[in-house]
Structure 1
Amino acid sequence: MSAGPVIVLGAGGHAKVVIELLRASGHEVFGVLDADPAPRAVVGAQVIGDDSMLESLKAQGVTCAFIAIGDNGLRLRLGRKAQKAGFTLVNAISPAATVSSSARLGVGIAIMAGAVINAETDVHDLAIINSGAVVDHDGLICEAAHVAPGCALAGDVTVGQRAFLGAGCSVIPGMKIGDDAVIGAGACVIREIPAGALAMGVPARVTGRV
């Protein structure tokens, strides 16, 4: 259950899913902050301003936040900004996800419905494990990485900071995907992917830089 009401940063499609996850796990959503502060509802939560309001919200007693932004780099920056302002980053974990009792979770993490996180896996701060994604045993999902819907990661896979794995991609055991790398949808990773690389295809081949 929530230690207090949660302010959500971001008002896009990802935020819609996150707000519903937060409610399903017992959190009260106080409101939404967005770069476009125009008043509107996001699945029933009201946009009340932009992130310049963080300090005033803290003064009102709102001390929990969730960064519901898909862009990995921006999510990380705003997460650190919220923490510096004294906010506690909460997790949004679907009741329909399966998370091993031996998994180690950071803060500000989204784990969507149908996701599976198996034994001795580490998921670091501000990562996203999206709908139906599987991370097998001894995985390492680094800070602000995003494992998209339907991905299948075998055992002992490392996904670097801010890396993005596109929908439905698969990764064989023991592979390392570097920081800021992007793996295209449906790709099959059978060799290590260096930092900042764009890799696509079956098997995945580096086709450029991001």
Structure 2
Amino acid sequence: MEKGIVVVGAGGHAKVCIESLRAMGKQVDYCIGEASDCELCVGVPILAGDENLKRLRDEGYEMAFIAIGSNRLRGRLGGLAMDMGYQLTNAIHPSAVVSPSVRLGAGVAVMAGAVINAEASIGALSIVNTGATVDHDCAIGEGVHIAPQCGLAGNVKVGDLSFLGVGTRVIPGIHIGTNVTVGAGAVVISDIDHGRTVVGVPARLIK
């Protein structure tokens, strides 16, 4: 019997990722999650405890997807899975529009209705969430989360582990540093240094 994908995570984000994988025609066999009252995640059996990731690898499972919302935890678990010998697959919903010139890292999620335009790049383990748009020549780092309905104009750069909240807008050519948090609905019209948190219209630093 062909072995399917092991999804790490069993929460709401995992549900959406599993349905994206299924829409691609991929088989999801197990979720790795925490002990809870739930035994299934949108019909997929949940195995409680990270030790199951190694056990399934020993049983011959090769493909994994990290379905965790936290950027740092997603990165850590992605590294753990790769160290065990897993390959990280991508979850690209068929309704997403992804230019053929886009460069995608491993373990990337692109949700329903998202658009990624010409010669953009999306780093490993990043999320382009529902209905978000990433325009031409954008460079999105590793472990980034572009939340639902964000709009990034052309030539925007976003550093590793940054989070852009729901409905963020970014004008062309902006550079956003690593580990930045942009609050929901913010409009970014100037560069943001590493490690900063900004909110508002226009986006301003929280001191």
TM-score scaled to structure 1, two decimals? 0.95
The answer for the alignment partner of 1:102 in structure 2 is 101
**8 Å contact from structure 2 (residues 156, 173) kept in 1:** yes
Distance 2:194 2:3 in 1: 38
Tell me the SS of whatever aligns to 1:33.
strand
Using the TM superposition, give the Cα deviation of residue 26 of structure 1 relative to its aligned residue in structure 2, in angstroms.
1.4
Using the TM superposition, give the Cα deviation of residue 53 of structure 1 relative to its aligned residue in structure 2, in angstroms.
1.5
Structure 1 gaps, min length 5: none
Structure 2 gaps, min length 5: none
Alignment of 1:36-185 (within 5 A): 36=35, 40-185=39-184
The answer for the alignment partner of 1:34 in structure 2 is 33
**8 Å contact from structure 2 (residues 124, 141) kept in 1:** yes
> Does residue 189 of the first structure (1) align with residue 164 of the second (2)?
no
Using the TM superposition, give the Cα deviation of residue 61 of structure 1 relative to its aligned residue in structure 2, in angstroms.
1.1
Using the TM superposition, give the Cα deviation of residue 36 of structure 1 relative to its aligned residue in structure 2, in angstroms.
2.7
**8 Å contact from structure 2 (residues 186, 202) kept in 1:** yes
Tell me the SS of whatever aligns to 2:179.
coil
**8 Å contact from structure 1 (residues 37, 50) kept in 2:** no
Distance 1:158 1:54 in 2: 34
Tell me the SS of whatever aligns to 2:161.
coil
Distance 1:189 1:153 in 2: 9
Tell me the SS of whatever aligns to 2:155.
coil
TM-score scaled to structure 2, two decimals? 0.97
Distance 2:7 2:37 in 1: 15
Distance 1:141 1:70 in 2: 17
Distance 2:189 2:119 in 1: 22
Distance 2:35 2:77 in 1: 15
**8 Å contact from structure 1 (residues 38, 49) kept in 2:** no
Using the TM superposition, give the Cα deviation of residue 19 of structure 1 relative to its aligned residue in structure 2, in angstroms.
0.6
What RMSD in Å do the two structures reach over aligned CA positions?
1.2
Tell me the SS of whatever aligns to 1:126.
coil
Tell me the SS of whatever aligns to 2:81.
helix
**Comparing 36-45 and 106-115, the one that deviates more:** 36-45
Across the two proteins, how many residue pairs are aligned to each other? 206
Q: Alignment identity in percent?
A: 50
Distance 1:51 1:28 in 2: 21
What letter corresponds to residue 165 of structure 1 in structure 2?
A: L
Using the TM superposition, give the Cα deviation of residue 35 of structure 1 relative to its aligned residue in structure 2, in angstroms.
2.9
Using the TM superposition, give the Cα deviation of residue 105 of structure 1 relative to its aligned residue in structure 2, in angstroms.
0.4
Distance 1:38 1:88 in 2: 30
**8 Å contact from structure 2 (residues 3, 29) kept in 1:** no
Using the TM superposition, give the Cα deviation of residue 39 of structure 1 relative to its aligned residue in structure 2, in angstroms.
5.4
In structure 2, relative to structure 1, the CA distance for the partners of 1:38 and 1:48 (3 Å cut) is farther
Tell me the SS of whatever aligns to 1:47.
strand
Using the TM superposition, give the Cα deviation of residue 27 of structure 1 relative to its aligned residue in structure 2, in angstroms.
1.2
